[in-house]
Amino acid sequence: MLNRKSVSAIVAGAALVSGQCTIPTTPLSNNIAYPFRAQVQNATRPEVHNKYMNLEIAGGGDRHLFIGPVGIPTYDLTLVDGVINHVPTGNRAVIGGEFSEIDHTTKLFMTGRGDPRAIFEPTYACNPDTGALQIELRFVTWVGQPTGGHICVRGAFDGSHEFRYNPPGNTLIDVNRECIKVTLVVIPTGPAPSTTLSTSIVSSTSSSSSTPPPSSTSSSTSTSSTSSSTSSSSSSTSSSTSSSTSTSSTPSSTATNLPYTDQTHLGWRYIGCAPEERWTTDGAFRTLSGALLAADDMTNEKCMAFCEGRGFQYAGTEWRRECWCGNSYATTRQPLTTLVSLNKCDYRCSGNSAQFCGGDAWLSLYAKCPAGGPCVNAVFS
């Protein structure tokens, strides 16, 4: 859960400087073939900023759109001729229904029917938090309507916000249910062109306002004992003495005949393949929620160095290019340690195809080894 992208190799042509990033002058296509999540941004409104679009099953096969905790996290959106598509269901983003007489906003949702489609234009912009280059989906129009207006989100139920359309020139406001203007940002979840997206660092935002289940670990002060107790239940596949520094650029080895990357020489041990919210019933929150690094040159070494540099005790990679950090994870997100489970974390790292960086909402999870102590990977049976 990517959350920002920057350009790794600026496309040919002159570039304009805006804010903290450089904006390429070459326009983007209105088609995005690689899968992505839609992130919501409004840096002035922390209640919605950096959260993600979720899909909630509705009648007739439709999908209603929310930002957490309602709905199912969605990792497989594409853009076809400017229209957001949900590949698994064949639905696309449309506008219509539930018109509000108070503020004149209209519902944005997804359907396979012929409702007027919402049209977006991919545009380069600078991330408001990091200054990194990102791709935004600028709202253009919906079929049969004037150009202009914007997408907004308003409070719904259970702490969620629903997506709506606000027409151009509209000044009406529902004082009880303000519809907050937002920007939609493309967060790739599959391989994206290396000339388009590169590295960005953000703080992660939980997609739920509810409290996660009890943690399987406590704070970083007791991680060493937790680490020891975890490894004591299994014999080692590979081990080394924990290093005090994890910023080495030395390529790591891959455990023999097992699809995970051995990082014990850097002081990190592999503890298994852990599920994200899509595969659990414990709520919509990240397994590791401390910080996120997303990069087209992602490797496990890069992830471990990033998390250790920020004082985290757990690090995990997923979706080939995402690195998540934290000091604990919920008991319901225990990493699996069967040979079969490793098949869920078999995506090749975007920065090194010899390594494995998680899977489809599955996290290749590592724990920091105690300084000067044993550093042992889990055994898989």
pLDDT, tens digit (0-9, with 9 covering 90-100), for 173-222? 998 889 999 999 999 987 655 444 444 444 333 333 333 333 333 322 22
pLDDT band (50, 70, 90) for residue 261: confident
Distance of CA 320 to the CA centre of its chain: 12
CA dist., res. 315 & res. 367, Å (int):
7
Q: Give the percent of the chain with pLDDT over 70.
A: 76
CA dist., res. 46 & res. 49, Å (int):
5
Instruction: Give me the pLDDT at residue 191, please.
Output: 67
Cross-strand pairs, 166: 150
Closest Cα partner for 324 from 344, 296, 354, 298?
Answer: 298
Instruction: Give me the pLDDT at residue 241, please.
Output: 37
Q: Which residue has the tokens 């300084």?
A: 371
Instruction: Give me the pLDDT at residue 350, please.
Output: 84
pLDDT band (50, 70, 90) for residue 252: very low
Instruction: Give me the pLDDT at residue 98, please.
Output: 83
Average pLDDT over every residue of 59-74: 86
| 204 close to 292: Cβ distance less than 8 angstroms | yes
- Can you say whether the dihedral through the CA atoms of 367, 368, 371, 377 is positive or negative? positive
Instruction: Give me the pLDDT at residue 49, please.
Output: 95
Domain boundaries, the chain: 15-194, 220-376
Closest Cα partner for 32 from 158, 196, 144, 162?
Answer: 196
Q: Which two tokens stand for residue 186?
A: 């493309």
C-beta neighbour count of 380 within 10 angstroms: 20
Q: Which residue has the tokens 């239940």?
A: 233
Average pLDDT over every residue of 135-141: 97
CATH 2.80.10 fits 15-194, yes or no: yes
- pTM of the predicted structure, to 2 decimals: 0.50
Q: Please indicate whether residue 242 or residue 49 has the higher confidence score (pLDDT).
A: 49
Instruction: With a cut of 60, say whether residue 295 has pLDDT above it.
Output: yes
Q: Which range scores top for mean pLDDT: 155-159, 284-288, 313-317? A: 313-317
List strands edge to edge, sheet with 314-318: 200-202, 291-294, 322-326, 314-318, 362-368, 268-275
Instruction: Give me the pLDDT at residue 192, please.
Output: 59
Instruction: Give me the pLDDT at residue 242, please.
Output: 36
Average pLDDT over every residue of 145-150: 94
Tens of pLDDT, residues 93-117? 999 988 888 899 999 999 998 899 9
Instruction: With a cut of 70, say whether residue 254 has pLDDT above it.
Output: no
Tell me, what DSSP letter sits at residue 356?
E
| 293 close to 302: Cβ distance less than 8 angstroms | yes
Q: Give the percent of the chain with pLDDT over 90.
A: 47
Instruction: Give me the pLDDT at residue 37, please.
Output: 94
Q: Compute, in degrees rounded to 10, the torsion defined by CA atoms 40, 42, 43, 45.
A: -110
CA dist., res. 175 & res. 196, Å (int):
41
CA dist., res. 367 & res. 376, Å (int):
10
